[in-house]
Amino acid sequence: MTGGTWLRVDFIACDGRGLCAEALPELITLDDWGFPIVSGQALPPRLLADARATVRACPRLALRLDAGR
Amino acid sequence: MTAGLVLAGTLPRLLPPEPPGLAGLAGHTARYGPPPAVPGRRQRDALIAEVGLAGLTGRGGAGFPTARKLAAVAAGHAPVVVANGTEGEPVSVKDRVLMACSPHLVLDGAVLAAEVTGAAKAVIVVHRDVREIIDEAVAERARARTDRVRLEVRTAAQGFVAGQASAVVQWVQRGVPAPTATPPRLAQRGLRGAPTLVQNVETLAHLALIARYGAAWFRAAGTPDEPGSMLVTVVGAVREPGVREVAIGTPVGQLLDLAGGASAPLQALLIGGYFGIWVDAAGALARPFSSAGLADLGAGPGAGLIVALPVGACGLSETARMMRYLAGESAGQCGPCVFGLPAIAGQVERLAEGRGADLGLLRRWLGQVDGRGGCAHPDGAVRLVRSALRTFGPELPMPPGGGR
């Protein structure tokens, strides 16, 4: 797998606090119950730093960055 | 390899012949011969390679190549084997029938899987209906000193999600039948941190026969791409519902004939049970029951389930009932599943009862739930409802104002 990085949600850990969607609205929206819907696209390089910060900010440690699909 | 006591290409392989032979370990050995010993590395690797040549895939529903799982677990340190006979799917009975009829074949497979992966122990997780039969078979083997591997029997948790591989591991480990997040894969870190092979009991029974008779024997049934036989549970509007063993690729219509034939004109078939999809009956009868044969219908052989729905029955009502059940069977860990499935079930109920369902909202929720759980539970529920909308769609009652 070359290049790309993807944002992933661990839905078992996620409680739907919603911080991620506020911190990274370019890539994360919320479903009708307040749980994150993450863009299926590889992270654009310009958002990589913001994505890392968002991963660190998740109070449930439910977000991570994965290399490859 | 032993000369095949069970002739290549003849069925049943796993289920008892007609008339049935001797019961117990003696009958089992008389029918199949003893399992081969796999004392060393070379024999272990050879058996894994043979399973690969045979093309055996998991019979629990996911259809993953068994040899690859065996090799992955064998590469780890001090692994453990879990034989999965949970069978939480409400329609399926094939694992229970297999364990009741051929307990020693399943246990042979569990022991062989442990031997080839280097595991000292195999945990046999069994549906409570067959617990005593398996206990008795294990005791019989202990008296005969057949196994070098320790066998531990556990009664499975009940519930739909309880049979999912990581849920089985959690059940054995801490009494909570809930799936865990991936990664790590169970083959790397499973039961109490050990590399863990979780394999459906039917898969293990096939493994026990491949170990005896070899890949070419196994491939004498089935199709070149999907070799072997499989157990299929056929229920609904058929005269003799129950479990049959068939070659993969047997036409769907023939499976219904084996179950005594349709007891009424058929409207639709639910292929795959609660995790399956609805298909139009007429369009499916000539299809081979295989991944290739069912792929363009969006279906697959999965864990081998067919429910026949007669003309006059309401497919949407059936789906609504199933969807409400699936919503209740969520392990309760993931938001989209916990909130989404009951919401979807509510809309399907409105649809079935002609109470003005909001189809736009239903489709939106199906999209929002799909692929967003720690296990495939929500995905399966979404697939079921989508197939119901496709198959029973032309009858959809239009809400006042034409819907949206």
Q: Is the pLDDT of residue B394 over 60?
A: no
Q: Are residues B304 and B340 both part of a single domain? A: no
Q: Is B236 left (phi over 0), alpha (psi -120 to 50) or beta?
A: left
Question: Which of the residues A6, A10, A11, A69 would you substitute to probe the B interface, choosing the one with the greatest number of B C-beta atoms within 10 Å?
Answer: A11
| Residues of chain A with C-beta less than 8 angstroms from the C-beta of B374 | 10-12
Radius of gyration of chain A (CA): 11
For residue B351, give every residue at least 6 positions away whose Cβ sits within 8 Å of its Cβ, in sequence order, or none.
B316, B320, B357, B359, B362, B396, B397
Residues 6+ apart with CB under 8 A from B371: B378, B379
CATH at residue B279:
3.10.20.600
Q: How far apart are CA B382 and CA B277, in angstroms?
A: 10
Are B38 and B142 within one domain? yes
Candidate from B365, B368, B372 with C-beta closest to A11 = B372
Instruction: Say which CATH class A5-67 falls into.
Output: alpha beta
**E strands along B250-353, which residues?**
266-271, 277-280, 305-310
The verdict on residue B2 lying in a domain is: no
**Mind telling me how many Å the CA of B368 is from chain A's nearest CA?**
6
pLDDT band at B290 (very low <50, low <70, confident <90, very high): very high
Residues of chain B contacting A66 with CB distance shorter than 8 Å: none
Our CA-based measurement puts residue A45 at a distance from the nearest CA of chain B, in whole angstroms, of 25
| pLDDT at A62 > cutoff 90 | yes
Which residues, other chains included, contact B300 with Cβ-Cβ below 8 Å and sequence gap of 6+? B63, B271, B272, B291, B294
Q: What are the Cα distances from residue B288, in Å, to B171, B259, B283, B299?
A: 36, 16, 12, 11
User: What CATH number is associated with residue B353?
Assistant: 1.20.1440.230
Portion of chain B with pLDDT greater than 70, in percent: 96
Tell me, what's the pLDDT at B109? 98
Give the domain range for residue B116: 24-218
Distance of CA B268 to the CA centre of its chain: 22
Q: Which residue has the higher pLDDT, B275 or B282?
A: B282
pTM of the model: 0.91
User: What's the pLDDT tens digit per position in B354-372?
Assistant: 998 999 999 999 999 999 9
CA distance B185 to B167: 13
Residue of chain B nearest A37, judged by CA positions:
B368
Best probe of the B interface among A20, A31, A61, A63, by most B CBs < 10 A, is: A31
| For residues B184-195, average pLDDT | 93
Q: Say yes or no to pLDDT of B85 above 60.
A: yes
Give the gyration radius of chain B's Cα atoms: 22
Measure B293 CA to nearest chain A CA, in Å.
28
Measuring CA to CA, how many Å separate B131 from each of B100, B102, B309, B336? Answer: 9, 13, 32, 35
Which site among A33, A39, A69 would you substitute to test the B interface, given the most B Cβ atoms closer than 10 Å to its Cβ? A33
**Amino acid B181: pLDDT:** 87
Report chain B residues whose CB lies below 8 A from the CB of A14: 334-335
Q: B123 Cβ partners below 8 Å, 6+ apart?
A: B80, B81, B82, B83, B152, B153, B154, B172, B191
CB contact under 8 A, B336 and A35: yes
Q: Where are the beta strands (DSSP E) in B264-329?
A: 266-271, 277-280, 305-310
Given pLDDT bands bounded at 50, 70 and 90, which one contains residue B19? confident
Q: What is the pLDDT of residues B294-345, one digit of tens each?
A: 999 999 998 999 999 999 999 999 999 999 999 999 999 999 999 999 999 9
Structural domain spans, chain A: 5-67
Of A11, A32, A37, the CB nearest to B334: A11
Distances (CA, A) of B142 to A36, B64, B92: 52, 32, 30
Shared-domain flag, residues B321 and B305:
no
CB B200 within 8 A of CB B84: yes
- Last residue of a domain, which of B310, B343, B368? B310
Cα–Cα nearest to B208, from B216, B198, B218? B218
**Mean local confidence (pLDDT), A11-39:** 96
Nearest to B25 by CA among B38, B16, B13, B34: B34
More confident call, B174 vs B395: B174
pLDDT confidence tier of residue B391, bands split at 50, 70 and 90: very high
The CATH number linked to B107 is 3.40.50.11540
pLDDT category, B158, cuts 50, 70, 90?
very high
Mean pLDDT value across residues B140-164: 94
pLDDT, tens digit (0-9, with 9 covering 90-100), for B206-225? 999 999 999 999 999 999 99
- Look at residue A39 in the predicted model and tell me its pLDDT: 87
Question: pLDDT digit string (tens) for B70-80?
Answer: 999 999 999 99
The pLDDT value recorded for residue A2 is 54
Same domain, B198 and B111: yes
Whether the predicted pLDDT of B396 surpasses 80: no
pLDDT at B149 over 60: yes
Cα gap B151→B142, rounded to integer Å: 9
pLDDT band at A69 (very low <50, low <70, confident <90, very high): low
ipTM exceeds 0.95, yes or no? no
Count of structural domains, chain B: 3
Is the domain of B164 the same as that of B184? yes
Give the distance from residue A23's alpha carbon to the nearest chain B alpha carbon, in angstroms.
20
Rounded Cα–Cα distance for residues B258 and B148 (Å): 40
End position of a domain, from candidates B283, B310, B337 = B310
pLDDT of res. B2? 47
- What residues contact B53, with CB distance under 8 A and at least 6 apart? B215
Q: Convert the pLDDT of each residue in A28-49 to its tens digit.
A: 999 999 999 998 889 999 999 9
Quick check: B14 and B212 in contact, CB under 8 A?
no
Q: B23 or B133: which carries more pLDDT confidence? A: B133
Query: Which of B181, B336, B368 has the CB atom closest to A10's CB atom?
Result: B181
Residue B8 lies in a domain: no
In a domain, B40, yes or no: yes
Do B327 and B380 sit in the same domain of this protein? yes
Residue pair B25/B107 in contact by the 8 Å Cβ criterion: no
